[in-house]
Structure 1
Amino acid sequence: MTTSTSRRKVLTSSAALVGAASSTLLIPAQSQAQTGKIRVGLMLPYSGAFAPLGVAIENGVRMAINEQGGKLGGREIEWFKVDDESDPSKGIENANKLVQRDKVDVLIGTVHSGVQMGIQRVARDSGVLSLIPNAGVHAATRSLCAPNVFRTSFSNSQPTLALGQTMVNKGHKKAVWITWKYAAGDEAFEGFKESYTKAGGTIIKELGLPFPNVEFQALLTEIAALKPDAVACFFAGPSGAKFMKDFAAAGLKGKIALYGSGFLTEGVLQAAGPAADGVMTTLHYSDSLDTPRNKKFRLEYAKTFKMQPDVYAVQGYDTGLLLIQGANAVKGDLSKKPDLYKAMQGAVIDSPRGKWTMSKTHNPIQDMYLRVVENGENKVIGVAAKALADPGTGCKMG
C-alpha cells in the first residue's frame, strides 16, 4: 500500500508540475515576473524601548510609497511584519520568517545593530534585497557588505567623524571621550578619534562604562579632575538625557564644553530640560532644518500620523524613496537584480535631510549638521562636514 500510495503521489505531483510548466510557457517571462504583488517585509522593534523607533521607520516607509500611489514600479504591495524585539539572539530566526516563510522580495530592518548582524547573514545567504533604515554597525557596509544590502541611515562613526574639526575650530584642543563599552560606542569613538586627532586635538582620556549602565558619577568626578577643554560622548535615548543632567549637576556645565554624536539629544530634550542647553552635536538631520523640503515633509507627516517626525521617520522615508527609485528603474521586476542594484547605487535621494547619494559600499554620502540645543530644540548652526562618506574599509562586493 505504501509503495502504491507513494507512486500515486509522484504521478500526481509530476502531472501538476507538467501543468505548471505548460501554463508557464504561455506567459512571457517579463509579464509573469510583474504579476502579483511585491512582498515587502518589515523587521523592526514593535515592543520594548525601541518600539517608537520601529513605528517611526514604518510610518516613513509607508508615507514615501503612498506618495507614489502606494505601488512599487506599478505593482501592488503585500506587507509582512515581524517584531524583532531588539533581541540579537533571535535575529537570524526572525529574518528567516520573512525570507523563507513569507517569501518576501524586500526585507527592511532594523534599528539594533546586534539584530542587524543576524539580518545581514540571512541577506548574504539568501540574496534577498535588504534595506537598513537605522542600524549603524560598520560591518554592514564594510567587511560584510553585499550587492543586495543598502543602508539609508549612517554608519556609527559618521556623525563623530564630523565632530573633531568643529571642536578644534572652537578652541577645544584637549578632550575626554566617554561612552558605553560596546560595539556602537567603539565605532563612534573611531570616528571621533580620527577626526579630532587629524584636526590637531589631543584625547587626554578615554572613559567607558558597561552597557547599559548609567552610573556616571565616578567618571564625572574624574573628568572634573582632568580639566579638559571639552567632553565628547556617545549616548542615546533616556540615558543621554541622564548624562546631560548628571553633567550639569556635577557642576561641569558652563566650565567644560559638552559635545556628542547627534543621538545624544535626539528625542530627549524635554526629559533633559535646561541641562541640555548649549550642548553641541553633529548629525545628518535636525527637526529645525530650514528648507522647503523638510517643512513640507514635516507638515505631511504630522497630518498623516498625528505626531511629529524625527530622524528615524526621515530614515524610513528615505528607505521608501530608495526602494521606489530601484523598483521604477526595473518597472517592478525585482528579479532584474543587476539593473535594480545599479539604479539604487546611482540614486540621488531628495530627502528632508538634504540630497544624498549612495557610496560604492552602499552607505549614504551625506552632510552632517552642527546643532546646538536652544530652548528645547536642536538648532542647526551650520554644516560640520559636507558630503561625508564612510570609508567602507574591507568591503569587497564580489
Structure 2
Amino acid sequence: MAKLRIAAVATSALLVLAACGGKDPAGNAGGPQGGGKATGAKGTVNVGLLNPATGPFAQLGTDVNAGFEAYLKSKGGVLSGYGIKVAKADEGTDAAQGTTKARQLVEQDKSQIVIGLVNSAIAYAVAPYLEQSNVPLLITVAGADGLTRKENGNTYRLSYTSSQDSMPAGPYACKDLGYKKTVVLALDYSFGWEAAGGFARTYKEAGCEIVQEIYAPLGTQDWGPYVNQVKKDADAVYVVAPGQDGVRLLKAYRDFGLKLPIVAHGATVDETILPTEGATADGVVSSLHYTPQIDSPQNKALLDAHDGKGNQYLEDGWAAAQTLEAALAQIDSDPTPEKIRAALAKVKIDAPRGPMSFDAYGQAIYPVYIRKVENKDGKRVNAIVTTVPGVSQFGPYDPATYLAFPGYEKLKGTWAK
C-alpha cells in the first residue's frame, strides 16, 4: 500500500471553531488519487468531501481527506461492490461559503452523501441545506454539541461532541486519581465551555469540587496572567486548550513553576502538537476517543498507511470510509441518498478507535481512552491508562435527562459556585 504522509501541524483552534474545504487547491475531484473513479460491480456512488483545503485549518482537512482516501485505496477504490467517485469542495470560512460549496457538491457533482466539515458554525448552516436536499451528511470533525440533538435522520457525526470525550475524565480524576478540588482553565469560546462543562458536571457528581474557573481568549499569546491565577491549594487543574493555545499554555505553566497535576481534554495534547509541546506535556492525563497507541489490527492498518503516524483527524477520515462501506453493504442496488441515509443508522464498525455505532440522534458511540503523556523511546505518546467503553454524547445520563440540562454556555462560571 502506498503510504500517505502527513504534517503534524495544528493551530490555536483545532476543533469546533475550525473551518475550510471546495475543490482541492489544484481544483481536482475524483477517486482515491484525486482523479478518475474505480469501477464496482454494483455501480458507482458519488461522494462529496467537504473539508478545509486552504487557510489556517487546512491541515485538519488534509488529514481527514488523507484518512478517507487511504482506506478507499486499500479497497481498490471500491466499497461493498460500489466504485467510489470523490469530489472535493472547500467549506470556506463562513456559513454562506460553506453552503455554496455544499450546493456545488450536490447540484454539480451529484454527490449522494457529503462527508466532512470542521467548522461548527458552517456545519450549522450546511446541515439544514443537505436535509432539505435529501442528501445525508456525515460530519467528521465539527464538534458543537447541538449538531446532533434532534432526530432529523439526516445528520450523522463520527467525531465527538465537545463534551462527550471530557465526561469520562470527571469521575476518573475524582475517584481514581483522588483529586478532590480542581481548577478549570479553558479557552473562552463554545468548545472550551462545552468540553470544560462535560468534565465539571461528571466530576462534581462524583463528589468532588470545582474551586475556580479561569477562561482565556482564543489565541492567547501570554498565558502567564492566567496560570498565575490558579489556586495553589487545589489538587489539580483541568485544561481545555487545543492547538497552539495548548502549546503556549503548557509552556507558561511549566515556566511559572506550577506543580499541580494536569488533567485535560485530549485535544490539548493531540498528536498534531505533542511533538512541539515536548517535555511540557509530560504526565498530562487526558481523555479522547483515539490514540495511536491502540493495539488492534484496525489501528495498525491506519498507522501502516501513514508511515506509523496517526492522529484523531486521520482516524476520523478512515472511520468515515469504513462507515460508508458498512452502509453500502446494506444496499443491493440503486444506492440513492435515501437508502444511504437509512443504512447509516444501522452501521456498526470496528474502527481504529474501537467499536462504533450511532445513537438515535446520529451521534457516534465509541470507547473513550484515558491517556497519559509518556516519553517512549525518545518520543512523546499518549499511553493508554484505561478504557471507558460505549461512551455516548449523553455520557452517563439518559437522553431526556441530559437534553433538559441548560446549555453549557449558560453554565460557564457556575461550576465553582
- Which residue of structure 2 lines up, in the alignment, with residue 308 of structure 1? 309
Partner of 1:107: 114
Preserved CA contact (<8 Å) 1:38 1:72 = no
Tell me the SS of whatever aligns to 1:122.
Answer: helix
Equivalent of 1:43 in 32, 50, 55: 50
| Equivalent residue, structure 1, for 2:349 | 349
Number of paired residues? 352
| Helix, strand or coil at the partner of 2:329 | helix
SS at match of 1:350: strand
Higher mean C-alpha deviation, range 55-64 or range 87-96:
87-96
Q: How does 1:1-398 map to 2 (within 5 A)?
A: 37-143=44-150, 145-169=151-175, 170-223=177-230, 225-252=231-258, 255-266=259-270, 267-299=272-304, 301-302=305-306, 306=307, 308-335=309-336, 337=338, 339-375=339-375, 376-383=380-387, 385-391=388-394
The answer (yes or no) to whether the contact 1:92–1:121 under 8 Å persists in 2 is: no
Unaligned runs of 5+ in 1: 1-33
Name 2:24's counterpart in structure 1: none
SS of residue paired to 1:159: coil
Given that 2:145 and 2:194 are in contact with CA atoms closer than 8 Å, whether structure 1 keeps it comes out as: yes
Note if contact 1:43-1:108 (Cα within 8 Å) is conserved in structure 2. Answer: yes
Deviation by residue 1:112-147 (Cα, 9 ceiling, x = unmatched): 22221122122222121111111111121114x521
What is the rounded CA distance, in whole Å, between the counterparts of 1:123 and 1:373 in structure 2?
40
Aligned-pair distance for 1:110? 1.1
Cα contact 1:36–1:75 (8 A) shared by 2 = yes
Residue by residue over 1:207-266, the C-alpha shift from the partner in whole angstroms, topping out at 9 and shown as x without a partner, is 11222324321111110x4531111121111221111111111111xx211111101101
Output the CA distance in 2 between the equivalents of 1:185 and 1:161.
13
The runs of at least 4 aligned residues of structure 1 exceeding 6 Å deviation read none
For residue 184 of structure 1, report the CA deviation from its aligned partner.
1.2
Question: Could you tell me whether the CA contact under 8 Å between 1:234 and 1:260 is conserved in 2?
Answer: yes
**AA of the residue aligned to 2:360:** K
Structure 1 distance, partners of 2:102, 2:342, is 25
On the 8 A contact 2:51/2:61 being kept in 1, the answer is yes
1:56 and 1:309 in contact (8 A); partners too: no
> Larger radius of gyration, structure 1 or 2?
1
Query: 1:17 corresponds to which residue?
Result: none
Matched with 1:31 is none
Would you tell me which structure has more helix in proportion to its own residues? 1
Give the CA RMSD over aligned residues: 2.1
Question: Which residue does 2:414 correspond to in 1?
Answer: none
Q: Which runs of 5+ in 2 are unaligned?
A: 1-40, 405-417
**TM-score by structure 1 length?**
0.83
C-alpha distance in structure 2 between counterparts of 1:50 and 1:321, whole Å: 24
